[in-house]
Chain A
Amino acid sequence: MSEHGSDPTVAPRSEDDPRLLLPPDEPVHLLDPDGTEHPDADHPLDLRDEQLRELYRMMVVTRKVDREAINLQRQGQLGVYASCMGQEAAQVGSAYALEDDDWIFPSYRELGAALVREVDAAGLLHLYRGTWLSDHDPYAHNFGLMSIPIGTQALHATGFGMGARFDDNPIVAMTYFGDGGTSEGDPHEAMTFAGVQKAPVIFFVQNNQYAISVPLDKQTAAPTLAHKAIGYGMPGYRVDGNDVLATYAVTRRAVERARAGEGPAFIEALTYRMEAHTTSDDPTRYRTKEELDEAAKTDPIARMKNLLIARGLYDDDLEREIDEQAQAVATYVRDGIYDADHGDPMELFEHVYVDPTGHFDEQAAQLRAELEGSEGGA
């Protein structure tokens, strides 16, 4: 494994040398911004041409829907929205490395991963519109509910992975959190448990450089986030998160390793949050235009387009087809969320308990009376 212990001045390490858990000096990187490829024997690509186009297509659709959501917020249709612009490769590449039976436990910024899972994009936005707290069945997509308390979903992935291991069920649970999330207690506990239980869990960290306004150097003194992994007895991988091929390849390897019973892994994907933290945020207060311009040069979508062109897989027809598809999904999202109704307020009482015996008899009656009163008065 060239990325681990490649220093020729030290003796070769045995397989159980814990230093093998340390991340490589440089993040895995297979694709330059201009589309130049850097094949890596440790990360061979098993992607067919059609899959390369598919990765590109999903990133373009993600960005289009993301932009549409920002527009919808500006038009008062969403209360708030957390953009994933700039992180499309990290999300699409990692989610694409999973099999259908595998599970994802997302935070609230995983639009790209959700689209890979074919979660209804308009439905996802109900959380942000405030019509309801979720609108997808996690079991229909193996995609958990969006989780707002930072990093807390990592424990759910670990528990799920433990269940799979107990049942000898060869599935993997992957959870997403951010650089800020690595400071929280729950991801720490999740990785501790997963390490001890050898649970098939991938802790996928999108290091987008900021937790709202707080930059990475105020978040941690660790050499890199991936260095934390050794403390849990799992390998820490580091990848260029704006390189969809590298992200896919690194995740794929970690997933297959976990599926084979070799335990959890931590992946730090280096990326950049091009938009504000959410539509309520003002990033001009904490970062410069120059920094943003610099980050834009590493754009994940332009890079993949350059690869497709270099490989002769891109033409006007494909461009038109993908643009039309992205527009169609954006329109679908707009139609689905615009002025969406909140439905029957009586649903407030419906899903709090499976067996609500004794809980809501009076309060449900009270709301019903209030609703009938307001209708009567109208």
Chain B
Amino acid sequence: MAVTLAQAINQALKDAMEANDRVLMFGEDVGKLGGVFRVTDGLQDRFGEQRCFDTPLAESGIIGTAIGLAMYGYRPIAEMQFDGFTYPAFEQIVSHLAKMPNRSRGTVTLPVTIRIPYGGGIGAVEHHSESPETYWAHTAGLKVMTPGTPEDGYAMMRAAIDSDDPVIFLEPKRRYWMKSDADLPVETEPTHRSVVRREGSDVSLFCYGPMVRTAMEAADAAADEGWSLEVVDLRSLAPLDTQGIVASVQRTGRAIVVHEASSTLGMGAEIAARIQERAFYHLEAPVLRATGFDTPYPPAKLEEYWLPDVDRILDRVERSLEY
């Protein structure tokens, strides 16, 4: 039976709450409404208003109280309604959630999962299409995951909730309705490992979240040109699967990083650095990037010019192959 990414995550939340009565789900509009994307649909009916509840409209409050609840002994899942509204919670995430286990010298653990629908491509109004992953990946103490398939939507969500470390769980909102024939529950690779979605020999595409499907489409189109692209779904942005990345570059000799986020100091910068540190002599060409521009996220009517797409990826592939 076909399942969408949103349904897979919803099922993971249900199963996790069923399995452990210390798991709580809360945020803005997650209760009666079931979340603006319906990812928490049915949770309040099933588990009651104490385990799935609407909070006041205050993101720092959501994360700060999640920390207190975790200190008390709960396993909170907090939803940030949109990527662009995580910034009010930045201090609680960076100064407390990420640091407290360390500054407590291990006496405090904070098994908090923060769900964030992120990325563009849905014609949304300003502040609803951002890709803030670099902020979280740059912050020591956080784990950052993002599923690119419904199967991972389920399995990685379960892993995030089970994790004793805080997890930023980035949900590619434009893929919420992406379908798969997965039978849930499903298990996938351990979350800290990347997965080769398509094997290839000419160029490696490193991608994650919403760009996994775009990269697969690019690989299809490239095949028509006679180019064999390998698509590597990174899945975890912190930690980053350096081994998996390097292994792919060793196979192909060429690497392109694909993400929606702006180029400068995006994940591509870190991945390019790791590749040249560890696989310099395997490289046939510089590591290239197909990303969003270093401008604020554009108005909806212009996002098609801003977001990386198949053409932008193929342009980089061509440049790489020309070296």
Mark A residues whose CB is within 8 Å of B.
105, 132-135, 137-139, 144-145, 147, 149, 152, 154-164, 166, 173, 185-186, 189-190, 192-193, 196, 347, 350-355, 357-359
Contact = CB atoms under 8 A, between A and B. Distances in A.
Interface stretch (B27-35, B68-76, B291-299): B68-76
Interface string B34-73: 0000000000000000100001101011011111111111
Contacts of A144: 71
Interface string B97-115: 0001111111111000000
A149 to B, nearest CB: 5
Given A155-B67, A156-B67, 18 more contacts: A145-B108, A152-B95, A154-B64, A155-B65, A157-B68, A159-B68, A159-B70, A162-B65, A162-B72, A163-B74, A186-B91, A189-B56, A189-B61, A353-B143, A353-B165, A355-B163, A357-B239, A358-B236
Given A156-B96, A351-B104, A352-B141, A192 B164 contact: no
Interface of B: 50, 55-56, 58, 60-61, 63-74, 76, 88, 91-92, 95-96, 100-109, 140-141, 143, 163-165, 192, 236, 238-242
Nearest to A360: B239
Contacts of B66: 159
B71 A138 contact: yes
B91 A149 contact: yes
Contacts of B88: 185
B71 A133 contact: no
Contact of A155 (B74, B76, B92): B92
Contact of B165 (A134, A155, A190, A354): A354
Contacts of A193: 55-56, 58, 61, 65
B60 A160 contact: no
21 contacts: A133-B102, A135-B105, A137-B107, A138-B71, A158-B61, A158-B68, A159-B69, A159-B76, A160-B68, A162-B72, A163-B72, A163-B74, A185-B88, A189-B56, A190-B64, A193-B58, A351-B101, A351-B104, A352-B140, A354-B164, A357-B239
Given A185-B60, A186-B64, A354-B109, A145 B100 contact: yes
B283 to A, nearest CB: 20
Contacts of A155: 60-61, 63-65, 67-68, 92
Given A145-B108, A166-B50, A352-B140, A156 B95 contact: no
Given A354-B164, A354-B165, A359-B239, A158 B65 contact: yes
Contacts of A156: 64-65, 67-68, 71, 96
Contact of A186 (B60, B240, B242): B60
Contacts of B76: 159
Contact of A350 (B58, B106, B107): B106
A222 B255 CA distance: 60
A351 B67 contact: no
Contacts of B143: 353
B15 to A, nearest CB: 21
A351 B102 contact: yes
Given A152-B91, A159-B67, A355 B104 contact: no
A200 to B, nearest CB: 12
A308 to B, nearest CB: 38
A347 B95 CA distance: 20
Contacts of B61: 155, 158, 186, 189-190, 192-193
A159 B92 CA distance: 13
Contacts of A350: 105-106
Contact of B92 (A133, A152, A354): A152
Nearest to A146: B103
A134 B71 contact: no
Contacts of A164: 72
Contacts of A173: 68
A360 to B, nearest CB: 9
A160 B71 contact: yes
A152 B96 contact: yes
B302 to A, nearest CB: 33
B239 A358 contact: yes
Contacts of B240: 358
Contacts of B140: 352
A175 B168 CA distance: 27
Contacts of B56: 189, 192-193, 196
Contacts of A132: 105
Given A156-B67, A160-B72, A134 B141 contact: no
Contacts of B109: 354
Nearest to B24: A166
Select the residue from A134, A147, A189, A350 with max chain B CB neighbours within 10 A.
A189
Contacts of A138: 71, 104, 107-108
